[in-house]
Structure 1
Amino acid sequence: MPGRTPFLGTALLAAALLTACGTPQEQAPEQAAPAAASTPATKSPTPSASPSAVRAVGGAGTPCVLPVSFSLSEDWETKAVEAPENPDFADLVKQGPATVVCEAKAEGTPHIGFLRVWTAPKGPVRPTLDAFVKADKSKGIALTDLGVGRAGGVPAVEARYSVFSELTEEWRAERAFAVTTPKGVVVVELGGLDSEEDDMVAAYEAVKAGLKVS
């Protein structure tokens, strides 16, 4: 799907519109040690920052009901993607054999990136993922069979490739993996301007490792 906008939620909203027309308190200084003390007071170790909370995605009652489930940091804003009512905008949610059904944006991070979940009809995983990637402006496609245990204990195929960004007018690296489910093939894609940042890759890898077929 060449020229795909960075975030589908924004694009679909625009399509719908077209169709319708304290400062923290200072801590008190520590009291001086008594003059009789023979050794200086030791500082307490600084507590480490707590990890980001996580939320479930994919099951009933979650932001996206999917054929798979996984956990994602709450730093990511997750929303279901619905097909546009106007058929003229149907291509916004299609890429090759797949349809996007869920999008998570890295809103709570300093990076510009997204994780998208796509569904495709039942069929062999590798050809489906290959067709999905080739439907974008991609090059340098490398497919790898992950076997069992690399994606939540189910057989998976991963693609590494580059896509052309019309915004920056340069190629950038992206990645996606696909698994088969009783309801068809599911593709999880990592993309965006900062798709190769460590935090973005870590989020993608966590989704891949923790994925469960519903």
Structure 2
Amino acid sequence: MHVPAGLGLAVLLVVGGCSSAKPAEAPVAPPASSAPAAPAAVPAAAAGAAIGAKGSACELPISFSTAADWKAKPIDVKKLGELAALAKVGDFTVVCEIDAKPAGSIGFIRVHVADGLSGAPAEHLQEFVKVSIGKKEASNTDFTDVQIGGAQAAEATWETVDKEYDIRSRYAAFALNTKRGMVVVQLSPLDTGEFTSMQPAYELAKTSVKI
């Protein structure tokens, strides 16, 4: 999982697990229809404060609504000292993080900006994801061209596995151009379980974006 130390997340290391294997029973008949089930709808998140505008918790090239009880704070890389490199993802720098802990989840929505960078959002998002994954084992990576805030954008989802601590994490991010440069907004939960509980806040951010 990509959790920059010094940016406010208390990392929980989950070690071990349990098995729930069932005893042998009669074979279960296959379902009547082999058609894939439709994906479950993501529940709507209650809106909290909006960020991005002047005077908000984080002044950004875009604005969007945060979920209720999530806490946004700006990140000043210059104040991180030796930890500044941990706030970098390739050409992108974390400028704001919205903490889910006050709402009962472990993780963040982080806003990354690459000043002066422009071009196809999909290409820059692919590079962002590649750097984020690093040497971890990744799977279920998917990229999609989308419209966000009335502009051409790109969105990605992917999973990684931390074999040392047996933690599987799922992420989502979208990228779009602004006058300041390319912006990537990433959902960074602790694990796949937290992803499910935090996804409504990410969808709220995505659907409320204004450039």
| Kept after mapping to 1: 8 A contact 2:68/2:103 | no
Partner residue of 1:131?
Answer: 127
TM-score normalised over the length of structure 1: 0.70
Matched, 1:159 2:153: no
**1:75-104 deviation per Cα after TM superposition (whole angstroms, max 9, x unaligned):** 101000111446532211101121000000
Distance in 2 of aligned mates of 1:82 and 1:164: 30
Residue of structure 2 equivalent to 1:100: 94
Aligned length: 169
Tell me which amino acid in the other structure corresponds to 1:134: K
Q: Determine which structure has greater relative contact order: mean sequence separation of CA pairs < 8 Å that are 6+ residues apart, divided by chain length.
A: 2
Which residue of the partner structure matches residue 21 of structure 1? none
Which amino acid in structure 2 is aligned with residue 209 of structure 1? T
Partner of 2:75 in structure 1?
81
> 1:136 corresponds to which letter in structure 2?
S
- On the 8 A contact 2:3/2:188 being kept in 1, the answer is no
Following TM superposition, the consecutive aligned residue runs of length 4 or more in structure 1 with deviations greater than 4 angstroms are none
Residues in 2 aligned to 1:54 and 1:182: alpha-carbon distance in whole angstroms: 26
1:118 corresponds, among 99, 112, 115, to 112
Letter in 2 for 1:160: T
Overall identity of the aligned pairs, in %:
36
User: What does 1:57-68 align with in structure 2 at a 5 Å threshold?
Assistant: 57-68=51-62
**Aligned-pair CA distance for 1:3:** 5.8
Which letter does structure 1 place at the counterpart of 2:207?
A: A
Native 8 Å contact 2:47 2:204 kept in 1: no
Report if the CA contact (8 A) 2:47-2:65 is conserved. no
Amino acid at match of 2:132: D
The runs of 5 or more residues in structure 1 that have no matched partner are 12-50
Are 1:196 and 2:195 an aligned pair? yes
Q: Which stretch has the larger CA shift, 172-181 or 117-126?
A: 117-126
| In 1, Cα distance between equivalents of 2:132 and 2:153 | 21
Q: Separation in 2 of the partners of 1:115 and 1:205?
A: 11
Cα distance between partner residues in 2 of 1:129 and 1:104: 20
Residues 177 and 189, structure 1, Cα contact 8 Å, conserved in 2:
yes
Residues 143-200 of structure 1 deviation map (CA, whole Å, 9 limit, x = unaligned): 1111x3xx22221100111133478433211110111111111101001224422x41
Partner of 1:144: 144
TM-score by length of structure 2 reads: 0.71
CA distance in 2, matches of 1:134, 1:82: 24
Residues 1:55 and 2:53 aligned together: no
- What's the offset of the Cα at 1:116? 0.3
Report the CA distance shift for 1:130/1:56 in structure 2 as closer, same or farther (over 3 A).
Answer: same
Partner of 1:4: 3
The answer for the alignment partner of 1:169 in structure 2 is 166
Residue in structure 2 matched with residue 207 of structure 1 by the alignment: 205
Give me the CA root mean square deviation: 2.4
Contact 2:171 2:188 in 1 (8 A): yes
